[in-house]
Amino acid sequence: MLITAAAATLLSGCNSSNNNPLLEEFNTPHEATPFDKIKTEHYLPAFSYGMDEGRKEVDAIANNADAPTFENTIAALDYSGASLTRTSGIFFNLNEAETSPEMQQIAREVMPLLTEYNNDITLNEKLFDRIKTVYDNADRSALTSEQAMLLEKTYKHFTRSGAGLSEADKTRYRELSSRLSTLRLDFKQHVLNETNAYVLTITDSSDLKGLPASSIEQASETARSKGIDGWAFTLHQPCYTPFMKYAENRELRKKLYIAYTVKGNQGNQDDNNEIIREIVNIRLQMAQLLGYKTYADYALAERMAQNTTNVNNLLNELLNASKPFAQKELAEVQACAERHGADFELQPYDWSFYAEKLREEKYSLNDEAIRPYYKLDNVIKGVFGLAERLYGITLKENKKIPVYHPDVKAYEVYDKNGEFLALFYADLHPREGKRNGAWMNDIRDQHKQNDRVQRPHIINVCNLTMPTDSKPALLTFSEASTVLHEFGHALHGMLSDCTYPSLSGTNVYKDFVELPSQIMENWGQEKEFLDMFAEHYETGEKIPAELVEKIIASQNFLAGYYSLRQLTFGLLDMAYHTIDKELTGSIADFEKVAIAPSLLLPAVEGASVSTSFGHIFSSGYAAGYYSYKWSEVLDADAFSVFKKNGIFDSATAASFRANILSKGGSEHPLELYKRFRGQEPTIEALLKREGFNN
């Protein structure tokens, strides 16, 4: 493996701390990461040290002269590599949220090394022999349910990572997995580069017509920060979305839309077409090496859905249910556009603009009417208050805990009995070092070892509307829903009560992980919850009942369209990962065929979903994007229990915490769900919520 001279220098002599905070104990509140002391040059030595220590620990397990047991093999392996896990948790979180060219170079250096490290473990014959011995001979009646799950998961992880392959196939597996790790990183970096590179500059104030004052002020401040005259609009969501909804200049909407949708598809150094082809083909080759026909067959073997038939049945059932509604919605928006003087067929860059006009017509409601009541600080208080009412936890900001950027706030989380539960970091506004979107990660996981409980350090990262010189951050309803969603993931991490690291928190099946997040969004449409926090940022007036009624009445506005949009992503993902022969043709042509059943609007030349589809090409949702819809079935079904018993019902919340949030992946998710719900989930609650069963 080639290592650059710079990396070699950093990797040399790194088995002592050398004043490297990553190689020392964290003498901070709750062992919080000392972000204020960590420098970029500390990471590679810490990675190298962690891998060295991890290899020693694994070798000790593999070469143990004692007969293999659950404790000396399975549990010992799960606890190994703690130093590397700590460094990885810190570095990869920052590389997503506060990256730099130097951080990106470290990622390029370290990803192949980490892939090799992981392959050295899963392809270690002595280690696998011990694991298989325990797996074949364990008295499962003597194991706890969590131990039984860890044994099953460990054995499957090794067999699904090439442990049973021939030596020649193991070598090939190593090559493919190493290349895949680099490609995923390149894909992500290309999208970030193109997001940051584009700015739409406006110098004529007449081109701002229709835009709300908040967007204009933000664009003015953005231009000033970039040394640009006039107003600057970027591809970051808080800027892009209002422009597409309100800007009356159709040509400028088209220009911004095209810039947003051609990311990674411009034939330049950041083009992702060849990367997509190679990623898809490598995944197929790896799956077939392991005995599966397709990558989806491989991935779904460890999901609730189990197989492609069940996934496709769900996608098609929802497609058939939602498409007629979406087609009616299209006709409504088209008619609205014509009432406003449009003499053309709606294009994708027209949709948000005229859909917003229709929403105003039907409900006398728009984002700008809602924003004054959704001051970010109040939304946060509302979400924290909801967690307190449901689960009895409290969050207290601690400004003494180091953070990695001034925007970030750190909170201590306590249970109702005063016991410390977690650290929670909130990083909520866009900047150039942060990728688009919103996500939750754990900087440190929760687990128990030797009578010590390690409590988790959880982070929510978003790209919400920023404050301006004259106004605080005022959110749209959609942004407030994002805060609820990501905090649901955070609760899954913070309330974890598991023994083993690989089973704790959000380490669950991909098509189960969205249940705790998506169920939280339901409260955002409940008047009892809105009354807890929604008040005008200037007058302190509670959100008017009339406005709340409009929000509730509009909850299914364009539900068919938004369902189809999610299904578009799910269909495309499954199309890429159900091929059983090498993908050789045009990515654009492949995408066109894959998403044709769910499309409503005409295609725009050069626009591509695939080339910036980070969920499946740089994140962990390959053959798993359907899980958002799968989890919608779960969250609608689960929330129906809260609706029946009361949305703040303490017994229902206690059951959800005990059976879902605290259990992580310690048991099969369907068993956990049935324990909460009393039955398997059905699609009926989702169809009712979306209005598709009318």
680 is catalytic: no
pLDDT higher than threshold 90 for residue 609: yes
pLDDT for res 694:
61
Tell me the residue ranges of DSSP E strands in 398-484. 409-414, 420-427, 439-444, 447-449, 452-454, 457-461
CA 556 distance to own-chain centroid: 24
Range in 266-275, 388-397, 677-686 the model is least confident about: 677-686
Q: Of 384, 627, 609, nearest to 490 (Cα)?
A: 384
pLDDT for res 313:
95
Q: In the chain, which residues fall in CATH 1.10.1370.40?
A: 5-164, 371-555
Tell me the CATH number for domain 5-164. 1.10.1370.40
Q: How confident is the model at residue 688 (pLDDT cuts 50, 70, 90)?
A: confident
Give me the catalytic one of 329, 486, 521, 526: 486
Taking residues 651-672, what's their average pLDDT? 97
Joined together, the tokens standing for residue 20 give 């490297």
Taking residues 561-584, what's their average pLDDT? 97
Residue 231 has phi, psi (to 5 degrees) of -130, 135
> CA 50, CA 17: separation in Å to the nearest integer?
12
pTM of the predicted model, to two decimals?
0.92
Taking residues 51-62, what's their average pLDDT? 98
Percent of the chain with pLDDT over 70: 97
pLDDT higher than threshold 50 for residue 557: yes
Angle at 461 between CA 421 and CA 273, to 5 degrees: 135
> CA 619, CA 598: separation in Å to the nearest integer?
23
Q: Of 315, 270, 319, nearest to 623 (Cα)?
A: 315
CA 76 distance to own-chain centroid: 30
Please report where in the chains the tokens 């053959």 appear, as a residue: 623
> CA 131, CA 111: separation in Å to the nearest integer?
26
Taking residues 43-56, what's their average pLDDT? 98
> CA 148, CA 139: separation in Å to the nearest integer?
10
SS3 202: strand
pLDDT higher than threshold 90 for residue 415: yes
Query: Which is it for the CA torsion 571, 576, 578, 584, positive or negative?
Result: positive
Tell me the CATH number for domain 371-555. 1.10.1370.40
